[in-house]
Chains A and B, each alone.
Chain A
Amino acid sequence: MKDDAFAALDVRNVSHSFGTRKVLDDVSFTIAAGDFTVLLGLNGAGKTTLFALVTGLYHSRDGSISVYGADLRKKYLKALAQIGAVFQQSTLDLDLTVEQNMFYHAALHGMAKSVAAPRITAELERIGLAERRRDRARQLSGGQRRRVELARALIHNPSLLLLDEPTVGLDIESRQFLLDHVRKLCAERGMAVLWATHLIDEADENSKVVVLHKGKVLAAGPAASVIRASGESSLRGAFDQLVGSGPAGKGKP
């Protein structure tokens, strides 16, 4: 399924607008297998629109997006099969149990119950929620729901994992848990990850970053080289300088 000759995610010259409002303007970047890439941008930078395009919710007006060589327009289904996604807004069905939500997802990826069941157990154990599997999603805390969503996105063994502001509204502990968990997936499974956030400290020096501001990519590459190119000493400094907004994301942690 995975082809090393291709980038895990290749976004090329993508522009998109809603009516006259241009949300993405000539966005290009690539992610390789095993990369943990942080998509940095303030609220309104176009991250969510980019996610909608990459997950094929709708197509971009201009440019192309491909996942391991499968173009989202031409080989839509092949591309989607390799993607696992956690959206900013929760997509769990709160009236169903954790397990029912997971099996629903597995069915939507054409998995047999006998194949899905051990996968679901494994992923739930990994996030430490195996004993909550028969509880309704509504009964879980925000942090737990997020973890379930992450576990669910992994059932079908995607090779590209997309997370849109996954830590919004979570306490420090849950946030750290998610970050560590995803970084580990990256290292262990060689999964490519695109992690969108406005929280700069979620990217460390070893991450790759894509700085998105007002629909444009201002910088992309290893965090270290982005910092170096800016002449600043930290990623926060580099980000501030790039977006020219003074202290990054005023009022944001």
Chain B
Amino acid sequence: MRAVQYLRAFLGILHREALRWLNQRSRFVSALVRPLVWLGIFAAGFRFTLGMSIIEPYDTYIPYEVYIAPGLVAMIQLFNGMQSSLSMVYDREMGSMKTLMISPFPRWFLLLSKLMAGVAVSIVQVYMFLAIALFWDVSPPPLGYLEMLPAMILAGLMLGALGLVLSSFIKQLENFAGVMNFVIFPMFFASSALNPLWRVKESSLWLYRIYSVNPFTHAVELIRFSMYGKFNAEAAAVVAAFFIIFMALAVWGYDPGRGLIAKRGGPPE
């Protein structure tokens, strides 16, 4: 296969992902409504109880809505990653994943293409969210919208790769509720999305440690800094490292010779 054929395959996968996204209106709407509920209801309620001191990357006092916006951006990407994972499990049960798996391209390439297609969809969702968030005065510097793009690509890849790993481990669709309880909620709540780390540290050192090792915290901080034109090298390094680990696990999980797909119960006959 030549490079141009790889490109065609990638564009085919991207196109299908976009079509599916546009077809599923409910998914589209809920992806948009979820962060807005947090912003419009949760944050509005908390802004009076939580005082924000000046912390990096902000150079002034900020309302709570502004604080949690990057966390919500990351949440959109987290949900999207899990949604792709869900659709992988669904595709596997429905058989349509075979179309992808018998394509004469290396598995790692197919998985990476699928991953990047999901990231592209999540980024479109983020920008739509940010456009609406302007009504809550979440208005990073104009250049920030552009500068956050690479951060979102990296964070999206990491969260999407986590979804891929999970999809190779989850046997059936029914088990997906477990993913919600044991992955999405802990990752989101035990991160700097809703609470700044210094505040967590004040209340509990243990909790602070948990927050600090959570890769989602680093995804949030990477996005937060980039939105204000700053680069958080530590967060970028951690997110990149987790992406590589998750991707390696996913490729292993989907490997026809070694992976879990081959070891699992086999087809029902």
Which residues on the A side are within 8 Å of B5 (C-beta)?
Answer: 110-111
- Cβ of A108 under 8 Å from chain B: yes
Q: Residues 52-88 of chain A: 1 if any B CB is under 8 Å from the residue's CB, otherwise 0?
A: 1001111100000000000001001110110101010
CB-defined contacts of A112 to chain B, threshold 8 Å:
4, 8
B102 touches A57 (CB 8 A): yes
Q: Are B9 and A110 in contact (CB under 8 A)?
A: yes
Q: Is B1 an interface residue (CB 8 A)?
A: yes
- Say if the beta carbon of A89 comes within 8 Å of chain B: yes
A92 sits at the interface (CB 8 A): yes
Indicate if A23 sits at the interface (CB-CB under 8 A).
yes
Q: Which of B4, B13, B94, B262 contacts A58 (CB 8 A)?
A: B262
CA distance A106 to B266 in the complex (A): 28
Closest-by-CB residue of A relative to B91 is A93
A106/B12 in contact, CB under 8 A: yes
A30 interface contact, C-beta 8 A: no
Q: Which residues of B contact A58 (CB under 8 A)?
A: 256-257, 259, 261-262
CA–CA, A55 to B256, complex, Å? 10
A interface residue count range (under 10 / 10 to 19 / 20 to 34 / 35 or more): 35 or more
Interface residues on B, range: 35 or more
A59 to B95, CA, bound (A): 18
**How far is it, in angstroms, between the C-alpha of A59 and the C-alpha of B8 when the chains are bound?**
27
Q: Give bound CA distance, A18 to B100, whole Å.
A: 23
A-contact bits for B1-43, CB 8 A (1 contact / 0 none):
1101110110111011001100110000000000000000000
Q: Does A166 contact B (CB under 8 A)?
A: no
Residues of B within 8 A of A110 (CB): 1-2, 4-6, 8-9, 104-105
Partner pick for A109 among B4, B101, B104, B259, CB 8 A cutoff: B104
Decide if the interface of chain A is mainly helix, strand, loop or mixed: loop
Task: Note all chain A residues with C-beta closer than 8 A to B263.
Answer: 18
Q: A80 touching B265 by the CB < 8 A rule? A: no
Q: Is the CB of A77 within 8 A of B15?
A: no
In the complex, what residue of chain A is closest to B260 when comparing beta carbons?
A: A58
* With contact pairs A23-B266, A80-B104 given, residues A108 and B99 touching in the complex (Cβ less than 8 Å): yes
Q: A105 contacts which chain B residues (CB < 8 A)? A: 99
CB distance from B26 to the nearest CB of A (A): 13
Whole-angstrom distance from the CB of A205 to the nearest CB of chain B? 28
User: Is A36 on the interface with B (CB-CB < 8 A)?
Assistant: no
User: Is the CB–CB distance between B257 and A59 below 8 Å?
Assistant: yes
B82 to chain A minimum Cβ distance, whole angstroms, is 20
Assess whether A104 is in contact with B15, with CB atoms less than 8 Å apart.
yes
The answer to whether A77 touches B106, judged by C-beta atoms less than 8 angstroms apart, is yes
**Cα separation A96 to B96 with both chains bound (whole Å):** 12
B262→A107 contact, CB < 8 A: no
Among the stretches A41-49, A184-192, A216-224, the one at the interface with B is A41-49
Measured CB to CB, the nearest residue on chain A to B3 is A110
* A152 smallest CB distance to B (angstroms): 8
Q: Select one of B12, B95, B262, B264 contacting A108, CB under 8 A.
A: B12
Please pick, from B1, B2, B11, B269, the residue contacting A46 in the complex, using a CB distance under 8 A.
Answer: B269
CB contacts (< 8 Å) of A56 on chain B: these are 101-102, 256
Write the nearest CB–CB distance from B108 to chain A, whole angstroms. 12
Q: Is the CB of B16 within 8 A of A104?
A: yes
- Residues A77 and B13 in contact, CB atoms below 8 Å apart: no
| Interchain CB contact under 8 A, A49 and B266 | yes
> Is B204 interfacial (CB 8 A cutoff)?
no
Identify the interface centre among B94, B100, B103: most chain A CB within 10 Å of its CB.
Answer: B103
B95 contact from A77, A91, A109, Cβ within 8 A: A91
Binding site for A on B (CB under 8 A): 1-2, 4-6, 8-9, 11-13, 15-16, 19-20, 23-24, 94-106, 256-257, 259, 261-267, 269
Residue numbers of A with Cβ under 8 A of B are 18-19, 21, 23, 43-49, 52, 55-59, 73, 76-78, 80-81, 83, 85, 87, 89-93, 95-96, 100, 103-112
| Residue contacts A-B, CB under 8 angstroms, 21 given | A55-B98, A57-B98, A57-B102, A57-B256, A58-B262, A59-B257, A77-B1, A77-B104, A78-B104, A81-B104, A83-B102, A90-B94, A91-B97, A91-B99, A95-B24, A100-B19, A107-B12, A107-B15, A109-B104, A110-B2, A110-B105
